[in-house]
Chains A and B, each alone.
Chain A
Amino acid sequence: MTLNTEFMLETFFIALKGIPVTLSLAAISLLLASPAAFFMAIARINRIKGLQKAVTVYVSFVRGTPMILQILVIYSLLPSLLNQLFMNLNLKINVFDVNPILYAYIVFTLNTAAALSEVFRSALQTVSIGQLEAAQSIGLSTYKAYTRIVIPQALVVALPNLGNVTVNLIKGTSLAFMMTVKDITALAKIEASYGYNYIEAYIVIFFIYIILCSGVQLAFRLLEKYLGGYRKPAAG
């Protein structure tokens, strides 16, 4: 078996065009999921009645089902149900006209929020309650105590796990092709399908993902080093 290197080079540049889609899928899902995850973490830490239970159920539901199933449900079942509903209500909205990337945002946001809520919860709990009390005792409001003292420290603790979630998310967006979103994987598969060069196409995007994910991991490591400088004891 020989690999079609000419095809691989061509596909490499075509697949690169999917990077903005892949990264924006990841970035927007992260941005949407973060605040939601933060409030879920707060709800669980402060044992807010009702909310705490709901969050627990949500997290275990999302994390306990394969993402591919969630995609099938949200991308296939949801539009059909909505369409039925709109038809019954005599609304002239065509749900099938909706840009499929919206469904991708929904799936990845739901998933990321669940994972992040656990990351935030454990990170917030590493900052001693004593620091919160100390901040309150010198007159800071709870909000200021969180934004100035607790959250900056929790963020540094959360960074390694946040990096993991981000990398998992980037890899996870490769399932977006199922929703006809043209990300890195989708573009490569389309190229491959013309001449049945799937192996070559997969090897190419294999490397694109490695480079992308390594870059993200490196960025998180540097960020942690930069933000966590206060944790290092002085030499001597």
Chain B
Amino acid sequence: MLELKNVHKSFGRNEVLKGVDISVEKGDVVVILGPSGSGKTTLLRSINFLEKADKGTIVFGDIEAKLENASKHDIRAIRKKSAFVFQNYNLFHNRTALQNVTEGLIVARKVPKAEAVEKARKALDKVGLSDRYDYYPSQLSGGQQQRVGIARAIAVNPDVILFDEPTSALDPELIGEVLNVMKELAKEGTTMIVVTHEMTFAQEVANKVIFMDGGVVVEEGPPGEIFTRPKEERTKQFLRRIINDFDYVI
């Protein structure tokens, strides 16, 4: 359903992505792991053109485009098929929780207002915020803000939701509420690509784990394989550092 081929990206002289390929099927929950600076976030951002890759191809449903010179039309189309959940939530501060969700529906997708409000309420109910419709982001906790961010993403009914370290900016006690919502979405068959450091989430929820380091995909496979029988030395080192009591079977 979604395929990226040979993605390259440099920031100045720093080559962040050195030819990455990934493919995602409908209903997949793909977790991208890797040390910081490995290019995970850049890869995720180049899928919906928040970052413009220097080279590469994207095939998304019936759209095929070059990442480096995609037409405005293709970019809009791809953005309409995907949604993004940000590390820092990036809610619209001048909009209530409900308006944050309806904004994309009404303005970008031309959904009639009443219908958009209906959809937005459903999305907020789903993430457990049925009592916070009219709250502004400044009146919500980090966990609640991120759940609004997720509601904003699911309301547009995208083919894939891209999560960029959705829990990294949260206090430890608020991480659970966000991960639970994400688990729920995964159970319903939502296609997700998740950049995260939450190993338990990767182990329990993902059906595919991609390990990136130094701008390339080092290893990928089902979590059972990656976590218990990693093939590459770099994967082993990374997992050892992340999971203190990690014990893999050789």
Contacts and interface: CB of A to CB of B under 8 A. Distances in A.
- Is B a genuine binding partner of A? yes
Interface stretch (A3-11, A50-58, A92-100, A133-141): A133-141
Interface residues of A, number: 24
B84 A152 contact: no
B138 A233 contact: yes
Given A148-B103, A152-B94, A153-B94, A139 B76 contact: yes
Contact of B79 (A136, A144, A149, A231): A136
B88 interface: yes
B107 A140 contact: yes
A232 interface: yes
B86 A134 contact: yes
A184 B103 CA distance: 48
A1 interface: no
B135 interface: yes
Chain B: interface size category = 20 to 34
A19 B39 CA distance: 62
Interface string B125-139: 000000000011111
Given A153-B93, A231-B138, A137 B48 contact: yes
A140 B86 contact: no
B107 A148 contact: yes
B94 A138 contact: no
Contacts of B107: 139-140, 144, 148
A152 B92 CA distance: 11
B108 A140 contact: yes
Contacts of B197: none
A134 B90 contact: yes
A18 B213 CA distance: 72
A233 B139 contact: yes
A79 to B, nearest CB: 47
Nearest to A133: B50
B204 to A, nearest CB: 27
A89 interface: no
Interface in A124-160: 127-128, 130-131, 133-141, 144, 148-149, 152-153, 156
Interface string A203-236: 0000000000000000000000000001111100
B90 A230 contact: no
Interface string B86-117: 10101111111000000110011100000000
A140 B84 CA distance: 13
Contacts of B109: 139
B236 interface: no
Given A136-B79, A138-B108, A140-B107, A130 B90 contact: yes
Given A131-B93, A133-B50, A134-B91, A140 B103 contact: yes
A148 B48 CA distance: 21
Contacts of B104: 138-140
A236 to B, nearest CB: 10
Contact of B84 (A127, A134, A156, A233): A134
Nearest to B77: A139
A133 B50 CA distance: 7
Interface string B41-75: 00000001010000000000000000000000000
The 3 residue pairs across chains A and B that have the minimum distance between CB atoms = A139-B108, A138-B104, A130-B90
Interface of B: 48, 50, 76, 79-80, 82-84, 86, 88, 90-96, 103-104, 107-109, 135-139, 149, 152-153, 156
Given A139-B76, A139-B156, A230-B96, 13 more contacts: A130-B86, A133-B50, A133-B84, A133-B90, A134-B149, A137-B48, A137-B82, A138-B103, A140-B104, A156-B94, A230-B136, A230-B137, A231-B138
23 contacts: A130-B86, A130-B88, A131-B90, A131-B92, A133-B50, A134-B84, A135-B92, A135-B103, A136-B50, A137-B48, A137-B79, A137-B82, A138-B79, A138-B83, A139-B76, A139-B107, A139-B156, A149-B95, A153-B94, A230-B95, A230-B138, A232-B138, A233-B139
